Amino acid sequence: MINSQPRLRWRVVVRTGASGKLDPSRPSRPLSWHLVTCADTGQPGAHCEEGQRLLVTADDPSGHCLVDGICPRCGLTA
């Protein structure tokens, strides 16, 4: 079976904070997953409604980035 959906390519953004260093005492690293084509990983407007909600609650939009105004993960628009 051939998949007609384009392959999603991912990148991770690691936030180190003001010091520029990771804090090993934190239980988890500050990782945020985005699509490679995400225009601006830190701006809510670069993500669909679900991605914006995730940015506010978990700081990880989980790839709900807008590509040409549409989120390839869920089909939502801006």
57-75 per-position pLDDT tens digit = 866 888 899 988 999 889 8
pLDDT at 20: 60
For the entire predicted model, the pTM comes to 0.71
Q: Is the pLDDT of residue 1 over 60?
A: no
Q: Which long-range contacts (CB under 8 A, 24 or more apart) does 55-63 make?
A: 59/15, 59/30, 59/32, 60/31, 60/32, 60/33, 61/32, 61/33, 61/34, 62/33, 63/8, 63/10, 63/33, 63/34, 63/35
Question: Average pLDDT in the 16-25 region?
Answer: 64
